[in-house]
Structure 1
Amino acid sequence: MRYHVLAADYDGTLATDGRVDPPTVEALRLLKESGRKLVMVTGRELDQLLEIMPEIDLFDRVVAENGALLYRPQDKEEVKLAEAPPADFIDRLKARGVGPISVGRVIVATWEPHQAAVLDVVREMGLELQVIFNKGAVMILPSGVNKATGLDAALRDLGLSAHNVVAVGDAENDHAFLSSSECAVAVSNALPTLKERADWITSRDHGRGVVQLIRGLLEDDLAGLAPKLIRHHVLLGEDDQKQEVRISPYGLNILVAGTSGGGKSTLTTGLLERLSESRYQFVIVDPEGDYDELELTMKLGDPKNAPTVDEVEELLSRPETPNVSVNMLGIDLKDRPGFSDQLLPRLQDLRAHTGRPHWVVVDEVHHLMPAAWQPAPLVIPKELQGMLYITVHPDSVAPALLESVDVLLAIGEHPEKTIRLFCETSGKPEPAGLEAVELDRGETLAWFLKEDRPPFRVKTAPPKIQRRRHSRKYAEGNLGPDRSFYFKGPEGKLNLRAQNLVAFLQLAEGVDDATWQHHLQQGDYARWFREGIKDDELGEAAEQVAATEGLSAEESRTQIKEAIEDRYTLPAERVTSA
């Protein structure tokens, strides 16, 4: 379910001439019975609402006074979301002949044409107040308070996200909370300026329009509106014609696949950064701790402390939690698939109740969900949505999982072979006209499986912020024989193993110049940084050093060392001795 909340304005939307008719009340009741939440967002004062809306308890939260007051109908509790103006502000307005004046818990309201006098008093008193207009009403509120901020407070109180809200309104003061919601709806009697910015306009007016909206939610969760919600699409990059390529943030499964060192982590980090900027929540299932340095997430688990499924669920349930990365290094290798199998049903259940996390990222998916994967009974691969899988070996991933993929982003060498492996394993037909492609760094061969367009080259948008990596795993840990670096020299007479970056720097200082230069010019350092350390930016730095003409062995050693120490937190004794 995409929409867990209906947020509705009162006057002119739910109500006609100040009253909500019985068919609208019944529709609200049916929507509540479907498990969704109801939030009223109104400019009215609470006391007025309690008098004219006897069914107020239908709502889970009420945002009154144009965003300044939160009310919980179930326990009759009020929460002021801002401070009221000083008492002498009202006296000065009256002295200017402003009236009638209505004073709420926070809001002060009057009518046009008194706005000029109101603004004069605000300036004279040096107050941080703003004036909001609504159908002739002049509402005075603390600066920055509006229906969007009020709705945000209500959603935090409910532990929900604006990306799971459909909002409906009719007037000027509804712009803010409609634009902050995933789907913005205007009833047919709405002002033209609101209709221009709405994702959908009902064909009926007032409460009848709300009833029409509720029927759509109950029938198919407004699935027919999805193609119109392109304002939420997340940037992937540009195609060969310099046209932006964007991805829907809802309802898709993405597979990032390709050779080691091809840029999978850079592409994925860029996508996650842009999802986070748009306030979509994600969780990363990280078997090897490769996302510990990602500053967008709160971390669970490390090599010495295994995360638990309960911890993951509890952390994601907090409304203040942005994103979570789950480091599985503290879990025995053979037990990691089992942990993943326990986690996925819990994430599905959490989504069913809250809509979050919006995305689940599974790194090294071929380890956690291999070809022989038998999912837990509650996990149905074809029903999983908002999944981002990352793998070097698409042919080693469970076919049932691959069948659910909507977008394939092939990275690295021979991306056409990656697509063929995907098709062979998933049973999907190979796209027409698939030919050999040589990608430049930062490019991907993108295939949108549900579109007619064949796979095409995309220059992906990089992350905005260069990450400084703090992972002790790469700096001091033991990466194992297969992922270590070996100084062998030009004639292969050496076999000096660097199992981490500290060992690499120590050995680099001791090997002869010929050995150092041999590996530098062969691109071995750049390759290891990308494939063993999984750091594309460090690999690129090594390539730049290798391509710089006239550098001595000592100079290139120094530049590689500085690039490592700029990105990684190394032990204090290592930094001192260097």
Structure 2
Amino acid sequence: MSDATEQITTIALDLDNTLLNSQKNISAANTAVLKQLHQQGKRIVLCTGRALTLIKPWLQQLDLTQPTDYSITYNGGLIQNNVTNEILSQTVLTKTDIAILYRDARKLDFPLDVLGIDGVYSLMELGKSDYENYLKHQLPFKNLTFEQLPEHEVYGKAVCATTEAVVQRIRYQLSPATQEKFQIVPSRREMLEFMPAGVNKAAGLKQLLAHFGDDFSNLMAFGDEENDLEMIQAAGIGVAMENAIPQVKAVAQAVTKNNDADGVAYYLRQYFQL
């Protein structure tokens, strides 16, 4: 490998519409290339809004089960060891924080699901969203009111899963208090996510890289959506998928093939001369 390829120690990958194809699978080509690079000593880090529990099958598929393998979950709010589940870093919300968002949800009429440690709470007075179906019931859901939301539990994020039209309507009408308290970003066209202020995938990766004595110059990142923007911009090499939104392509150093054409494998083979 050249000095340039040796400089890259860590490869960060968004999941939906980046590493995953339209069938929500990691292709054989992507699997083979990532396994090869991991065996050569590169860190492979999945970066997602999902909980670690939900990505375990993909971690197993890619053999990301070594003691030094980590994932970035909750869009940067949680950094966990893939094997032990040990938390390297965590940024959380309290019920008091959620109350600020809840007032907006009541006023603007949108559904809200709150992700706790052991499952998801659907705030039923706001209407049941499609989030449970979207997750295919892979996490336990509990239907309750905001008043019943546990007072002393901490929360990773809140999610508004609705129609694209509602997402577009509400995201620019949220109160200044909500905009100050939360990092607000669509993870897909029909889903708006609310993380603690300052949380994004780049912030999580910065902490993980520092843990290993590295920085952004050692990072290559792949993404397609608005919640990937910061990490694509921060990475030494930021790669946008061909199917990425224009904002991501604008800050990327390279554009690869789309997620149904093994875009991740295509770029990695070229860059690392595999």
TM-score (norm 2): 0.69
Offset, 1:152: 0.5
Label 1:126 to 1:183 Cα distance change in 2 as closer, same or farther (>3 A).
closer
Indicate the residue corresponding to 1:11 in structure 2: 16
Label 1:198 to 1:206 Cα distance change in 2 as closer, same or farther (>3 A).
farther
Label 1:85 to 1:207 Cα distance change in 2 as closer, same or farther (>3 A).
farther
Matched, 1:130 2:204: no
Aligned pairs for 1:113-512 (under 5 A) are 113-114=166-167, 123=176, 128-136=181-189, 137-206=191-260, 208-219=262-273
User: Which structure has the larger Rg over C-alpha atoms?
Assistant: 1
Indicate the residue corresponding to 1:571 in structure 2: none
Indicate the residue corresponding to 1:55 in structure 2: 61
Matched, 1:74 2:83: yes
Counting aligned pairs with the same residue, the percent is 24
Label 1:120 to 1:20 Cα distance change in 2 as closer, same or farther (>3 A).
same
Asked whether the 8 Å contact 1:13–1:207 carries over to 2, the reply is no
For 1:143, give the aligned amino acid. Answer: A
For 2:270, give the aligned amino acid. Answer: G
Label 1:167 to 1:121 Cα distance change in 2 as closer, same or farther (>3 A).
closer
Deviation sequence 1:338-371 (CA, Å, 0-9, x none): xxxxxxxxxxxxxxxxxxxxxxxxxxxxxxxxxx
Offset, 1:190: 1.6
Q: Distance in 1 between matches of 2:195 and 2:175?
A: 11
Offset, 1:148: 0.8
Offset, 1:78: 2.7
Label 1:145 to 1:206 Cα distance change in 2 as closer, same or farther (>3 A).
farther
Offset, 1:73: 0.6
Deviation sequence 1:439-495 (CA, Å, 0-9, x none): xxxxxxxxxxxxxxxxxxxxxxxxxxxxxxxxxxxxxxxxxxxxxxxxxxxxxxxxx
Q: Give the unaligned 5+ runs of structure 1.
A: 221-578
Q: Distance in 1 between matches of 2:168 and 2:263?
A: 32
Q: Distance in 1 between matches of 2:179 and 2:265?
A: 45
What root-mean-square deviation, in Å, do the aligned CA atoms of Structure 1 and Structure 2 show?
2.9
Which of structures 1 and 2 has the larger relative contact order (alpha carbons within 8 angstroms, sep 6+)?
2
Q: Distance in 1 between matches of 2:178 and 2:185?
A: 19
Asked whether the 8 Å contact 1:20–1:53 carries over to 2, the reply is no
For 2:188, give the aligned amino acid. Answer: K
TM-score (norm 1): 0.35
Label 1:206 to 1:53 Cα distance change in 2 as closer, same or farther (>3 A).
farther
Q: Distance in 1 between matches of 2:83 and 2:54?
A: 18
Q: Does the residue aligned with 1:156 lie in a helix, a strand or coil?
A: helix
Offset, 1:93: 6.1
Q: Distance in 1 between matches of 2:156 and 2:55?
A: 15
Indicate the residue corresponding to 1:33 in structure 2: 39
For 1:55, give the aligned amino acid. Answer: Q
Indicate the residue corresponding to 2:110 in structure 1: 98
Q: Distance in 2 between matches of 1:2 and 1:119?
A: 40
For 2:79, give the aligned amino acid. Answer: L
Q: Distance in 1 between matches of 2:260 and 2:250?
A: 18
